[in-house]
Structure 1
């Protein structure tokens, strides 16, 4: 390749990196805005999301009620906003749990190897053999309804993905020259894991977690829709869709309002995950 072609290639990579960085900032800001809405939901609601007024039942969207009202006259816009707390914050908590558990299990398994690694991988194979949402439905039904039980049910089935990513990265890193040098220098296993393994597998784990937020949002909403997640009168997007599904043809805004919120959240987090992946691996 000529020097001129190399310069063009370098320039193209710089432009691509700059564009990716700009997109990352935009989508990160949008995701932060969603989280801020969830955290400060009570202050952002124009009406009390739990106040009932039957005289306002099934009001169509208007200037007074941007997303209309439900069967009990509750403002749908306020309920969608406060529903972000149960939906988004629960999803983030779930992703944090499965990321930490899966990464810890996979890293230790890959580093120790031998029978421990074989046993852990067979356990993960067992969980991965089942359709994720179906298994989560069974666990949630066994535990009973509630957002906490829904999180536990999804965590039980979702950690193996992270364990496999962490294990594969650990297996390749533990034979690398800098890890071998740390072993010869007398570092104990915890020191090697925290100083040399975890910092180098952070990127793939982060990308996996970011791409999983949208999926977990939909699966938590799915459990709530089926009555195995958040229970009324708690405002949660999946539960709100379930409560209004019988009125879809006559009062569609009751179902569409939380549905749109789920769609926007999933799109933003998926775009953020894709951009993080592109930024960490520009090739």
Structure 2
């Protein structure tokens, strides 16, 4: 009973975060890009709950609109790498042979370097911008899904029910979509939900280093980067997006843990 209540609460928080990200433009109490130097560096108050920044912009509005970039880009990234990696893994596990060997060696190459360092190098080559940051992280992150999908495919492709489906006349596409994917989707889903928090931190990290979202676009990572020199004098400029990252990552990590517990009783 307690687990059901916890799952309901965490799921509700996830829905609220995604809802706020989608409808951020409507929810913002002020224009997040409207500058007013006369109220610059105002401390949190009833008028501006999270204070204002260097240019007098409302921090609460910027945190909300920043969530649109941070949350939606993270979900987009996880969707891309999970779908692409799963497709590659299934093909490698089902076909085998040279195709499997070549693709797995490519994935080994991606995994041989420290993830964020490799992403930094790719993002630097591609140039700044949230799209290039997503591409850089996608290039280094798909192997984990391909390896999970490949391992699961290898474990079930010689199963009795697969052999029976072949005898019944099912072709390769039918075997993959009717029998293999439904039986491996659980672990892939768990991996994806647990990966959301990590990907969000890495996107914020690239933006913090100047290789992700570029000003004046509001994104939690670059907001922290822009305000890091004011941590001792005007801490709310840095703490507001920092708390947003902490809370959002914690919620998605808890959600991923609970999804894992539900799908895998062991």
TM-score bracket, normalised by the shorter chain, equals: over 0.9
- In the other structure, the counterpart of 1:40 is 23
Distance across 1 between alignment mates of 2:158 and 2:37: 68
Superposed, 1:187-198 pairs within 5 Å as 187-198=170-181
- What displacement does 1:175 show? 1.0
- In the other structure, the counterpart of 2:197 is 214
Contact 1:21 1:279 in 2 (8 A): no
SS in 2 for 1:263: helix
- What displacement does 1:161 show? 0.3
Contact 1:80 1:261 in 2 (8 A): yes
- In the other structure, the counterpart of 1:13 is none
- In the other structure, the counterpart of 1:252 is 235
- Is 1:97 matched with 2:98? no
SS in 2 for 1:172: helix
- What displacement does 1:20 show? 3.0
2:159 to 159, 176, 197: 176
- In the other structure, the counterpart of 2:112 is 129
- What displacement does 1:21 show? 3.2
> Unaligned stretches of 5+ in structure 2?
none
Distance across 2 between alignment mates of 1:25 and 1:208: 20
1:147 to 130, 137, 152: 130
- In the other structure, the counterpart of 1:117 is 100
- What displacement does 1:184 show? 1.5
- What displacement does 1:23 show? 2.2
> Unaligned stretches of 5+ in structure 1?
1-17
- Is 1:87 matched with 2:79? no
- What displacement does 1:22 show? 3.0
- What displacement does 1:282 show? 1.8
TM-score by length of 1: 0.93
Distance across 2 between alignment mates of 1:22 and 1:184: 46
SS in 2 for 1:66: coil
- In the other structure, the counterpart of 1:12 is none
Q: Aligned residue pairs: how many?
A: 266
Distance across 1 between alignment mates of 2:4 and 2:194: 17
Deviations 1:182-233 (A, max 9, x none): 1121211111000000000010000000000000000000000000000011
Distance across 1 between alignment mates of 2:21 and 2:8: 20
Over 6 Å off, 4+ runs: none
SS in 2 for 1:175: coil
- What displacement does 1:19 show? 3.5
- What displacement does 1:130 show? 0.6
- In the other structure, the counterpart of 1:24 is 7
TM-score by length of 2: 0.99
SS in 2 for 1:228: coil
